[in-house]
Amino acid sequence: MIDNKIDRNLRDIWPILVDEYDQPIMIAKRIGEKMEDKIFKEILLTEEQINDICVRMGNEITKAYENNERPVIFLGLLKGCHPFMSDLLKNIDLKLEIDYMDVSSFFGGTKSVGEVQILKDMTMSVTNRTVVIVEDIVDSGKTIEKVRELLMFRGAKSVEVATLIDKPEGRTIDLKPKYIGTTIKKAFILGYGLDYNEYYRNLRCIGIPRDSIIEE
């Protein structure tokens, strides 16, 4: 009843206080303001756009490996791969295996420091296996290259890369991911797995943070 007096597009986001006769007396300040609004100055990929990318990449990867002799191993690079790995794999219509590795090249902050460290190794054997590395973003390419070299050294049959985002301008080595969600200009971005000092991985979309977030 009260709802009918309130503009349709405001009904879900504004709490309404009513008097004893159930008449609206006040529309309070918007509650539960989305964290995204406070963090981003520009949104690059919305939830819907990310979903569309996962569907498209899932189909592409399904087609590429539907006749593969053995199931492909999808190797997620923690922690940034987590939401993307989950959404991408839901769209891959194949019998497959998953494993994870934690490899760090950032150590907090916004700049890659070059040295790549393996913090947690995978548990499966890759000998003679087709491996697809799943990454949130490829910047310099050093992280991926280090992991790719290691997997080839361990006897993998082939190693390809599926990344949600490619930042080719940051590349310092010759590396082109086979499966790319989208390409962006050089910028530090956050959300959907991508962090700043371990924060903001839980945001549903991806964007450029406000300056105040980075200076904090």
Residues annotated as catalytic are: 139
CB of 190 to Mg ion, least distance (A): 13
Applying CB under 6 A, which residues contact ligand IMP?
77, 80, 105-106, 112, 135-143, 188-189, 194-195
Q: Specify whether the CB–CB gap between 209 and 196 falls below 8 A.
A: yes
Which residue bears the tokens 């995204």?
36
Nearer to ligand IMP, 130 or 143 (CB): 143
- Type and span of the H or E element at 209: strand 206-209
106 makes contact, choosing from Mg ion, ligand IMP, none, with CB < 5 to 8 Å by partner type, with ligand IMP
Nearer to ligand IMP, 81 or 156 (CB): 81
112 makes contact, choosing from ligand IMP, Mg ion, none, with CB < 5 to 8 Å by partner type, with ligand IMP
Q: Specify whether the CB–CB gap between 173 and 142 falls below 8 A.
A: yes
Interface mask toward Mg ion for 120-159; x: CB under 5 A: ----------------x-----------------------
Nearer to ligand IMP, 87 or 135 (CB): 135
Taking CB under 5 A as the criterion, the residue among 80, 141, 177, 181 binding Mg ion is: 80
Virtual torsion, Cα 200, 205, 207, 212, nearest 10 deg: -40
Dist. CA 78–CA 86, nearest whole Å: 12
Burial (CB count within 10 angstroms: exposed 0-12, middle 13-18, buried 19+), residue 176: exposed
CB of 48 to ligand IMP, least distance (A): 21
CB of 141 to ligand IMP, least distance (A): 5
188 makes contact, choosing from Mg ion, ligand IMP, none, with CB < 5 to 8 Å by partner type, with ligand IMP
142 makes contact, choosing from Mg ion, ligand IMP, none, with CB < 5 to 8 Å by partner type, with ligand IMP
Residue 162: CA atoms inside 13 Å, Cβ hemisphere, count? Answer: 27
Whether residue 63 is preceded by a cis peptide bond, meaning omega within 30 degrees of 0, is no
Residues 6 or more apart in contact with residue 80 via CB below 8 angstroms: 135, 136, 137, 193, 194, 195, 201
Q: Which residues lie near Mg ion (CB under 5 A)?
A: 80, 136
